[in-house]
Amino acid sequence: MEQTRTAVVTGASSGIGAATARHLAREGFHVFCAARRSDRIEALAAEIGGTPVTCDVTDPDSVAALADVVGDRLDVLVNNAGGAFGSAPVAQADADEWRRMYEVNVLGLMEVTKALLPALLASGAGAILNVGSTAGRIAYEGGAGYTAAKHGTQVVTETLRLELWDQPVRVMEVVPGMVRTEEFSLVRFGGDQAKADAVYAGVAEPLTADDVADAITWMVTRPSYVNIDELVIRPRAQAAHHKVHRQG
Ligand code: NDP
C-alpha cells in the first residue's frame, strides 16, 4: 500500500498558508498546519483532515515540538510564515520592526528547515518550498526592512540548494508579487484598514491566496528530480513592482 504523503505548512492560519494547506490536502497530502493562532489551525485541520500544530517559528523550542509531532519522515515543507511590519523610510526606521521581519522571514525559516531536514531526507524525495517575494528581488521606498528580509529568504534558499546538491531533497522558492490576502497589509500597517486597502486600490484583479497555493502545489508535485528553482508570479496588472495598472 502506498504511504500517505505528508506536508508541513507554516503560517497556515491565514492567507497563502491556509490556501496551500487546502490545496495540498486535495492532492492527497496529510498536512501539518502550523501557526501561532491555535483556534484557526484547529478549524483548518478539522476541515482538511490534517494535524494542527501550534508553533512560533522564531522559537526553537516550539519548532522542536513541531518536529516531534511530524516524526521521522516528511515529504514537503512549505516555509510560508512571514510578513512585513511597517513601511517607514530608512531614515525613520524602527529597529524592532526590522528585527521582527528578519526573525520571521529568515531565522524562522532556518529554524524550521533545520529541525525538519532529517525527516525530509528520510523520505528519499523531500521538497522544501520557501515563500519569498518580489520584494526579495528589488528595492522600493519605505520597504527596506521587508525587502532586506525577503532578499535573505532568497539567499538562504540558494545556499541551501548548493549545500544539499547531493541529497534527495529539492529546494525551491515561489516569488509572488501583489497578492490580496486578508491580513498581510493589515498586519503591515498595524491594523489600519484604510492604508491596507490603498495597497490594492483600483487594481482589478490582484493575485489571490489560491493562485499562489496553486503554483506552490504544482511546484512540489513535479517529479522528484525536477527542481523549479524559482517561480515569479504576479497579477497581469503588475508589470513591475512600481508599474501597477490602477483604474478609477
Ligand atoms: P498573512 O499575514 O495572511 O499570513 C502570514 C502567516 O504567517 C499567518 O498565518 C501567521 O499566523 C504566520 N506567522 C507570522 N508570524 C509567525 C510566527 N512567528 N510563527 C508562525 N507563524 C507565523 O500573509 P500572506 O498569506 O499574504 O503571506 C504569506 C507569505 O507570503 C509571507 O511569507 C509573505 O511575506 C509572503 N508574501 C505575501 C505577499 C502578499 O502580497 N500578500 C506577496 C509576496 C509574498 P499566526 O499569526 O497565527 O502565527
DSSP state letters, the chain: -PPPPEEEEESTTSHHHHHHHHHHHHTT-EEEEEES-HHHHHHHHHHHT-EEEE--TT-HHHHHHHHHHH-S--SEEEE----------GGG--HHHHHHHHIIIIIHHHHHHHHHHHHHHHTSSEEEEEE--GGGTS--TT-HHHHHHHHHHHHHHHHHHHHTTTSSEEEEEEEE--B--SSHHHHHTTT-HHHHHHHTTT-S--B-HHHHHHHHHHHHTS-TT----EEEE--TTEEETTEE----
Pocket test of ligand 1: the residue of 8, 10, 23, 36 to mutate, having most ligand atoms within 8 Å of its CB, is: 36
- The rounded distance, in Å, linking the Cα atoms of 127 and 169 is 5
Cell of 188: 503591515
Closest approach atom of ligand 1 to CA 17: 25
The confidence score (pLDDT) of residue 47 equals 98
- The rounded distance, in Å, linking the Cα atoms of 113 and 95 is 26
Phi, psi of 181 (to 5 degrees): -110, 160
Q: Residues near 163 by Cβ (< 8 Å), separated by ≥ 6?
A: none
The confidence score (pLDDT) of residue 130 equals 98
Q: Is 154 in the pocket of ligand 1 (CB under 6 A)?
A: no
Q: What percent of the chain has pLDDT over 90?
A: 98
Distance from Cα 1 to the centre of ligand 1, integer Å: 36
CB 244 within 8 A of CB 203: yes
Axis crossing angle, helix 15-26 with helix 209-220, rounded to the nearest 10:
50
Mean pLDDT of 131-138: 98
Whether residue 168 has pLDDT greater than 80: yes
CATH architecture for the domain at 6-244: 3-Layer(aba) Sandwich (3.40)
Instruction: Express each pLDDT in 52-88 by its tens digit.
Output: 999 999 999 999 999 999 999 999 999 999 999 999 9
Instruction: Judge if pTM exceeds 0.95.
Output: yes
Whether residue 1 has pLDDT greater than 80: no
Whether residue 146 has pLDDT greater than 90: yes
Distance from Cα 16 to the centre of ligand 1, integer Å: 7
pLDDT level of residue 161 (50, 70, 90 thresholds): very high
The confidence score (pLDDT) of residue 184 equals 95
Q: Is position 200 annotated as part of the catalytic site? A: no
Quickly tell me which residue has 526590522 as its cell.
98
CA geometry: angle 203, 247, 191, nearest 5 deg: 45
Closest approach atom of ligand 1 to CA 36: 48
Q: What percent of the chain has pLDDT over 70?
A: 100
- The rounded distance, in Å, linking the Cα atoms of 127 and 144 is 30
- The rounded distance, in Å, linking the Cα atoms of 182 and 136 is 21
Pocket test of ligand 1: the residue of 146, 181, 188, 233 to mutate, having most ligand atoms within 8 Å of its CB, is: 181
Q: Is 35 in the pocket of ligand 1 (CB under 6 A)?
A: yes
The confidence score (pLDDT) of residue 2 equals 79
Q: Is 104 in the pocket of ligand 1 (CB under 6 A)?
A: yes
The confidence score (pLDDT) of residue 132 equals 98
CB 105 within 8 A of CB 131: no
Quickly tell me which residue has 522600493 as its cell.
140
The confidence score (pLDDT) of residue 111 equals 98
Instruction: Express each pLDDT in 193-248 by its tens digit.
Output: 999 999 999 999 999 999 999 999 999 999 999 999 999 999 999 999 989 999 98
Instruction: Express each pLDDT in 102-130 by its tens digit.
Output: 999 999 999 999 999 999 999 999 999 99
